[in-house]
Structure 1
Amino acid sequence: MLLLKLFLFFSFFFSTTFSHDPHPLPRPLIIQYPEGIETHFHEFDDELKSQCTSWRFAVEANNLSPWKTIPEECLGYIKDYMTGRGYEMDLERVSKEAGVYANTLELSGDGKDVWIFDIDETLLSNLPYYVEHGYGLEIFDPVEFDKWVQRGIAPAIEPSLQLYEKVLDLGFKIFLLTGRSEQHRSITIENLTKAGFRRWDKLILRGREHHGKLATVFKSEKRSEMVEEGYRILGNSGDQWSDLSGAAASSRSFKLPNPMYYIP
């Protein structure tokens, strides 16, 4: 049996080594070039998507230095995220977790337990504006944005509206703390009311004395004033880290997704 195996081995070796066939390897190994090219492009798309996902994660984790626009190559990715199920699911998850937390709290009953909400990209969505301005690809234009604000048609972010109603029903004081200018007070009230928000206790906007201050500084100062007045900040919802960080931070904060712009 051993001799037979050796004979067969050497017969195969010599037939493949010294054959005049120009294709000594098995024929099924022929490369299908069109399929290979398609796979290459598919792998490139996957790599770009992974890079843009990594960038968005760094944004949400506050790991990037201040940035002014989204990466140009990520425009399609950000558009798909903001208009697709991903953004909606992330909003729902944040609001759900905030609601679970709110239910665990025992309020004092003295009217001093506060939940703070930012407005833009937290209660009201400016996505219709950013659809027309490249989903954050364009440098922010405050004049054009103010024109949008003055229209007073920003829709509610539905998961945030649900959370808002929950904490309101639980007995929290609701303070709205926004970087919008005091000159937009009346249109902001009108827009919020149309979108379904009701019965807030304070609406705090930027006065002239606050113009030029970083959002982190402005909002820290306002939260500090609340604490000095005896309020307990138990919850805070915002789409920017500048809404949540700094002095007099809340007992727990909830960051909503926003890969379209950064406010320091």
Structure 2
Amino acid sequence: MIIRRMQRIREAVVLILLTICSKAANSKAHWWRPETGEAWGYCLSWRLAVEANNIRAWRTVPTECLRHVETYMIGGQYERDVTLIVDNIWNYVDTITLSNDGFDAWILDVDDTCISNLFYYRGKRYGCEPFDPLGFKAWALSGESPAIPDVLRLFNKLVETGFKVFLVTGRDEQTLGQATIENLENQGYFGYQRLILRSGAYKGLSAITYKSAIRKQLVGEGYRIWGNVGDQWSDLQGECAGNRTFKLPNPMYFIP
């Protein structure tokens, strides 16, 4: 009799423990990693929503996601994601038959597409601090942005294949034009058709409006835009976006 009671008590205790564990597994607490003290699962979901453009007009990375974004950007996953995207672009390029008129075009964004601002944003806690226009201008003028290796590999492939590659950036033409040209050249970007920076005529326009106008102008010149690559959705939205668009990951900032 005593043995049976003890067995029932043990069974009841096990059942209670299993119930508690099951509830914990389905609660938000399950996603917290004690080694970081951050809601890792929430931040993973936040980053996915950002990349899918379900979260828009966000100003800064949530403070609790600092370590998550840092780990993503410097821990190897960012590079793997970019490699996968570029490999798929490469496969798409191989399916295209170019004409002989020289008007087959491709568009690449510059910042965090061709060249990386990761070193700058590391000092801004990977986007947890508000954007600093003067600080970024000083960084851009230094010309120290390194090439993103897989995008440089893609760029060379496009040029060698015969595409006219246009580099389109929201950087100010008057203040950052020469520094941007030198930075790109120092990182191995040679042979592009044209670097287009934001001139005074486009000052104050949103990125979508500005880049749409540039693409519309290129189409008006007779160019066929086969592909368009950028790290912001505003690089890829609007008029004349191209036959295919490709979004590179960037959880550090949002440009409308």
1:105-254 correspondence runs (5 A): 105-182=96-173, 183-254=175-246
Structure 1 residue 65: deviation in Å?
2.6
Kindly indicate whether residue 64 of structure 2 is the aligned counterpart of residue 77 of structure 1.
Answer: no
Structure 1 residue 45: deviation in Å?
1.7
Aligned pair count? 243
CA distance in 1, matches of 2:209, 2:8: 75
CA distance in 2, matches of 1:107, 1:248: 19
Match of 1:8 in 2: none
Among 251, 254, 257, which residue is 2:249 paired with?
257
**SS of corresponding position for 2:32:** helix
Among 45, 48, 65, which residue is 2:32 paired with?
45
**SS of corresponding position for 1:64:** coil
Structure 1 residue 155: deviation in Å?
0.3
Per-residue CA distance 1:187-228 (angstroms, 9 max, x = gap)? 111100111111111110011121110000000000000111
What one-letter code is carried by the residue in structure 2 that aligns with 1:101?
A: Y
Among all aligned residue pairs of Structure 1 and Structure 2, give the percentage whose two residues are the same amino acid: 45
**SS of corresponding position for 1:25:** helix
Per-residue CA distance 1:102-144 (angstroms, 9 max, x = gap)? 1100001211000100000000000000011110001001000
CA distance in 2, matches of 1:97, 1:48: 32
Structure 1 residue 84: deviation in Å?
1.0
Match of 1:25 in 2: 9
Which consecutive segments of 4 or more residues in structure 1 shift more than 2 A? 14-17, 23-27, 29-32, 39-44
Kindly indicate whether residue 78 of structure 2 is the aligned counterpart of residue 87 of structure 1.
Answer: yes
**SS of corresponding position for 1:197:** coil
Structure 1 residue 91: deviation in Å?
0.6
Judge conservation of contact 2:50–2:56 (CA < 8 Å) in 1.
no
CA distance in 2, matches of 1:56, 1:219: 25
CA distance in 2, matches of 1:118, 1:54: 26
State the structure with more CA Rg: 1
Judge conservation of contact 2:78–2:249 (CA < 8 Å) in 1.
yes
CA distance in 2, matches of 1:15, 1:138: 63
Q: TM-score, normalising length from structure 1?
A: 0.86
In structure 1, the gaps of 5 or more residues are 1-11
Match of 1:55 in 2: 46
What one-letter code is carried by the residue in structure 2 that aligns with 1:228?
A: G
Q: TM-score, normalising length from structure 2?
A: 0.88
What one-letter code is carried by the residue in structure 2 that aligns with 1:203?
A: L
